[in-house]
Amino acid sequence: MAQKTALEDVQVLDLTQFEAGTSCTEALAWLGANVIKVENPKGGDQGRGASTDTPGVDSHYFMLLNANKRSITLNLGTDRGRQIFTDLLKKADVMIENFAPGAIERLGFGYDVVQKINPRIIYAQVKGFGEGPYENYVSFDMIAQSVGGALSLTGTTETEPLKPGPTIGDTGTGLHCAIGILAALHQRERTGRGQHIKVAMQDAVINFSRIAFARQAASGKAAVRSGNRSALGTTAPSGLYKCKGGGLNDYCFIYTTRAGNRHWDRLLKAIGRADLIGDERFNSPEKRWTHHDEVDRILSEFTQSRTKAEVMKMLGDAGVPAGAVYDTMEITQDPAIQKREMIVTVDHPKRGKFTLPGWPVKMSESHVAVDRAPLLGEHNAAIYAEWLGLTARDLEELKGKDVI
């Protein structure tokens, strides 16, 4: 008997596009939910064509964000399309959208309408901003990172603010939304009622930046960019150290806790400088911070004659937090990461072999194999028959009227 998955009985109508919303529904799909992308027949999710290298073929961007989903086409701008969507809503557990502000309401499917159609539905929305003067502004990841404080914290005071590489404004917001949906589904078990979930991208980035607010609370001033050094300014080492090789990413990040000297003492033993244990300049995290230039000099002497992998292994084996700077290709080719299905290769009907990151949450009683993203409308026949009992002839008629 096949193992059941955590969310296999959860039906999700996914009206999301680009990244913030699709990250949410991809997470739900990887937890076993039946996620159905409801897409415009003319082009579908805008992410399909945006930045594609081959016209008419789904972009790599889209394929990375829509694994394990199914796709139907439906024109919500038609009366028949809206009626069909209404019928689908009656059978759904979750509906989620991240259109521009006001778009879903103009289509006639605001929360006030949908909750009357299905009082048990979890209705989730991802927007750029929460209630306030900017709530009708459109947003993308870099906008959310800017107004959420991430840019102000990234880089150094000698540089302009920098956009962090990971898309925490998009994917980070999507994951916050998924958490809310899971909580709402659990609450529904007690109340029998659905609810309205709203997540603002700005707010999600603020939540990711909580440690910076600790520095503000301690200093009474806005947190400033500290580069690779400790965000709280309370310990050293905390930074990148150049390693042998001379490549763009031949560095290792080394950190010792601000909660005592145990990491520092282990570090000194590992690099052959046990003579510095107890040295007055370095015998507390605060003193090491005061003398961080000397700390950097000592560590650089050690790292520059070794590769980043060697440095990470030597320090990691000694119980010191250290991480080589891996690029995306090194991550993709790492056998251990592949073995735990964090990097997976799937077969795509138009792209062939395609490699993508998998789902990091490993559950002993719920395993969902990573599957490819769907083609536009690929599951029309199966889903419309399963959910609404529509026949092939019905679908041909709807297609002829530009409904699907």
SS (H, E, C) the chain: CCCCCCCCCCEEEEECCCCHHHHHHHHHHHCCCEEEEEECCCCCCHHHHCCCCCCCCCCHHHHHHCCCCEEEECCCCCHHHHHHHHHHHCCCCEEEECCCCCHHHHCCCCHHHHHHHCCCCEEEEEECCCCCCCCCCCCCHHHHHHHCCHHHHCCECCCCCCCCCCCCCCHHHHHHHHHHHHHHHHHHHHHCCCEEEEEEHHHHHHHHCHHHHHHHHHHCCCCCCECCCCCCCCCCCEEEEECCCCCCCCEEEEECCCCCCHHHHHHHHHCCCHHHCCCCCCCCHHHHHHCHHHHHHHHHHHHCCCCHHHHHHHHHHCCCCEEECCCHHHHHCCHHHHHCCCEEEEEECCCEEEEEECCCCCECCECCCCCCCCCCCCCHHHHHHHHHCCCHHHHHHHHHCCCC
Share of the chain above pLDDT 90, in %: 97
* pLDDT value of position 1: 53
Q: What Å distances lie between residue 330 and 229, 309, 336, CA to CA? A: 25, 11, 11
| pLDDT-based confidence at residue 196 (cuts at 50, 70, 90) | very high
Would you list the domain boundaries of the chain? 11-207+336-400, 238-242+251-324
Q: Which residues are CB-contacts of 394 (< 8 A; sequence separation ≥ 6)?
A: 384
pTM of the model: 0.96
Check 14, 45, 170, 250 and give the catalytic one: 170
Q: Does domain 238-242+251-324 have CATH number 3.30.1540.10?
A: yes
User: What is the C-alpha separation between 201 and 149, in angstroms, rounded?
Assistant: 12
- In single-letter form, the type of residue at position 61 comes to Y
* pLDDT value of position 229: 85
Taking each helix axis from N to C end, the angle separating 79-89 and 380-388, rounded to the nearest 10 degrees, works out to 60
User: What is the C-alpha separation between 122 and 196, in angstroms, rounded?
Assistant: 6
| 231-268 per-position pLDDT tens digit | 777 899 999 999 999 999 999 999 999 999 999 999 99
The phi and psi torsions of 353 (rounded to 5 degrees) equal -70, 130
Is the torsion defined by CA of 359, 361, 362, 364 positive or negative? negative
- How many angstroms from the chain centroid is the CA of residue 352? 25
The mean pLDDT value for 320-327 works out to: 98
Mean pLDDT for the chain overall: 97
170 given a catalytic annotation? yes
* pLDDT value of position 57: 97
User: What is the C-alpha separation between 401 and 26, in angstroms, rounded?
Assistant: 31
| pLDDT-based confidence at residue 2 (cuts at 50, 70, 90) | low
Neighbour-count burial of 221, counting CB atoms closer than 10 A to its CB (0-12 exposed, 13-18 middle, 19+ buried): exposed
The mean pLDDT value for 206-234 works out to: 91
Neighbour-count burial of 42, counting CB atoms closer than 10 A to its CB (0-12 exposed, 13-18 middle, 19+ buried): exposed
| 353-396 per-position pLDDT tens digit | 999 999 999 999 999 999 999 999 999 999 999 999 999 999 99
| 130-187 per-position pLDDT tens digit | 999 999 999 999 999 999 999 999 999 999 999 999 999 999 999 999 999 999 999 9
| pLDDT-based confidence at residue 3 (cuts at 50, 70, 90) | confident
| CB 169 within 8 Å of CB 142 | yes
Burial 170-195 (b: 16+ CB within 10 A, else e): bbbbbbbbbebbbebbeebeeeeebb
The mean pLDDT value for 295-319 works out to: 98
Q: Does domain 11-207+336-400 have CATH number 3.40.50.10540?
A: yes
Closest residue by Cα to residue 259 from 300, 288, 280, 221: 288
